Structure 1
Amino acid sequence: MRSATVLLSSLLLPFTGAVVAQAKPTGSTVTVYRCTDAGGKQSLRDTPCPKGQQQQAREMLRPQDAPKPKPVPVPTPAPGPVVATPEVRTVYLAPPRPMYECTTPDGDRYTSENGEGNPRWVPLWTLGYHAVGRPTRSTGSGLAQAPLQPAGPMRPPHGGLHRPMVGGGGTWIRDQCAMLPPRETCNRLRDRRDAIRTRFFNAQEKERDALRLEERGINTRLADDCGGR
């Protein structure tokens, strides 16, 4: 009823003077009635006019709902290239291993890995020790023994460490060593590797095995402490 009323409100064209006979609506048409009362007021309706009113009828197409649009299939996006997730690696950097330069009493220099110079056996008198002539009781040989006493502070030459050993005439001391800067350590390692490669061509097979082992250790240390070069 409401949809027909909305449609009829737009149909304001004058009807023909002749009254059109009422027709039965079909599935695709509808009959519209134009009614005029005694006062001349007109109205449109989809049912016959009441008694006492002038009636005009017109058959029109029945309004139909627009067909529902078919759903548009959403295209499935093509699979993109598989991007591999980068592997995260945690690298722990160890501090560079130090190298030391040691000096012998004669002024010769050499390198050490642990900072301890080569040990040397020296007589105690070179360290300032001498026998003090304090009388003691005689022994069976008839000679009086006088113990050794330091003449001053016990300071080994060249700043080396002293380690008293068994054997009353001397002691062990070590050469003095100083730690090299990291850059100088890397330079010394490269120099040693060059010397190994030069020596390798003239070395015997047994010596070559030792040189290969030493060079492999130097390369590992250069990679860890000196950027691999």
Structure 2
Amino acid sequence: MTRILAIALLLCAAFAAAAQSSGEVRIYRCTDAAGKQALRDTPCPKGQSQQARDMLRPKDAPATARPAAPAAAPAPPPAPTQVVYLAPPRAMYECVTHEGRRYTSENGDGNPRWVPLWTLGYPAVRPRTSLGSNIGGREPRPDQPMRPPMRDIRWPVATGGGSWIRDDCAMLPPAEACARLRDRRDEIRTRFFNAMPSERDALRVEERGINARLDNDCGGR
């Protein structure tokens, strides 16, 4: 009897080894006298009822190779350098007429005006007549005083002579020129609402020119 039991245990151990080698595991459900159940991987203790069940041994998931880190994206090429060419700032001049009126100009020439020579200091004489020199001619203009001659002129000068002269002009500092451009733009925008359609077209063109000059000469609007 003892020999038979030993043979049975050897067979169980052999089956268990075979099951383990084949990837199976035997689970024992043991129930004691109180009806309490327990699961174990070895035979139940003596005095407990047991139920055995062969199950597949759990296996770890095969190790997968970690994906290689993606190669760093190539650096984007440097942005092309943008070169902006600005025209040199244009000068602005303030000119004064002989009446004292001031105006701005794009050049320092000043507006020309025709004046008689006697206003420049030349001697004023009456024109020659059939009765002789300085007889019966027009009197010099009494509303403006005659200036003393700037140089000694020993020949008669006709009262009808004259010359073109220009208003005096002085260049404005850049900051003052920019301020006057902005003032003129404000005047255009105020006038625009009450202007006729034909005048509005001219005001638009002038404002575009002022804005372009402010961007180029004054560093913005």
TM bracket (short chain): 0.5 to 0.7
Equivalences, count: 134
Q: Aligned match of 2:211 in 195, 208, 219?
A: 219
- Contact kept, 8 Å, 2:116 with 2:160, in 1: the verdict is no
The answer on 1:91 being equivalent to 2:45 is: no
- Contact kept, 8 Å, 2:92 with 2:177, in 1: the verdict is yes
DSSP 3-state at the match of 1:106 = coil
User: Quick one: distance in 2 between partners of 1:90 and 1:201?
Assistant: 39
User: Quick one: distance in 2 between partners of 1:203 and 1:132?
Assistant: 51
Q: Which whole-Å deviations, capped at 9, do the CAs of 1:2-34 have from their partners, x for residues lacking one?
A: xxxxxxxxxxxxxxxxxxxxxxxxxxxxxxxxx
Q: Aligned match of 1:108 in 101, 105, 114?
A: 101
User: Quick one: distance in 1 between partners of 2:213 and 2:90?
Assistant: 8
Distance change (3 Å), C-alpha of 1:184 and 1:152: same
Q: What is the alpha-carbon root mean square deviation over aligned residues?
A: 2.9
Aligned residue in 1 for 2:150? 152
Measured after TM superposition, the shift of residue 106 of structure 1 is: 1.6
The answer on 1:129 being equivalent to 2:149 is: no
Aligned residue in 2 for 1:179? 171
Normalised by the length of structure 1, the TM-score is 0.52
DSSP 3-state at the match of 1:129 = coil
Measured after TM superposition, the shift of residue 217 of structure 1 is: 0.3
User: Quick one: distance in 2 between partners of 1:119 and 1:206?
Assistant: 30
Distance change (3 Å), C-alpha of 1:84 and 1:130: same
Measured after TM superposition, the shift of residue 211 of structure 1 is: 0.3
Detail structure 1 runs of 4+ shifted over 4 Å in the superposition.
143-146
User: Quick one: distance in 1 between partners of 2:151 and 2:108?
Assistant: 24
Unaligned runs of 5+ in 2: 1-67, 135-147, 153-158
User: Quick one: distance in 2 between partners of 1:143 and 1:100?
Assistant: 52
Higher helix proportion (structure 1 or 2): 2
Measured after TM superposition, the shift of residue 119 of structure 1 is: 1.1
Aligned residue in 2 for 1:201? 193
DSSP 3-state at the match of 1:151 = coil
User: Quick one: distance in 2 between partners of 1:153 and 1:77?
Assistant: 95
